[in-house]
Amino acid sequence: MKTALALVVGVVVGVVIWFLGASPEWAAVLAVPPTAFGVLVSRVPRATDIVWSSAPPPPGSISTAHASTLASRLAEAAEDPRRYRERFRARFARLGIEASEMPDPEELAERLRRVE
């Protein structure tokens, strides 16, 4: 639809130039650049088109709450090594994470505090 409108505008420009006294050949030659520009503009997507997307989540999202909760639990587990072995190693194993590859609880708690 937009391309057809650009072509119609080009024909109108050519006819106006012809009525102003130019020969039909010159009117056609002078109407080509505005017509080509109109077709180009009608084919290119607009940079000002509205992109409908949701707003980003607020900074106090649920992931921050989980990180702070886990950091405090790891800090408690650092004080009690038995608790770390019983609770966290079993949960890591269910997730397929080797507990031997994980840093010690103090370092892990510190990393999670930085995530907050």
Q: Whole-model pTM above 0.95?
A: no
Which pLDDT does position 17 carry in this prediction?
A: 92
In this predicted model, what pLDDT tens digit does every residue of 60-100 receive, in sequence order? 555 555 666 777 777 777 777 777 777 777 777 777 777 67
Q: What is the 3-state secondary structure (H, E, C) of 48-70?
A: CCCCCCCCCCCCCCHHHHHHHHH
DSSP-derived letter for residue 86 is I
Judging by beta carbons within 10 Å of its beta carbon (0-12, 13-18, 19+), is residue 110 exposed, middle or buried?
middle
Lowest mean pLDDT among 34-43, 58-67, 99-108: 58-67
Q: What is the mean pLDDT of the chain?
A: 77
Which pLDDT does position 20 carry in this prediction?
A: 92
Which pLDDT does position 5 carry in this prediction?
A: 85
Which pLDDT does position 99 carry in this prediction?
A: 66
Which pLDDT does position 51 carry in this prediction?
A: 67
Model confidence band, residue 33 (pLDDT cutoffs 50, 70, 90): very high
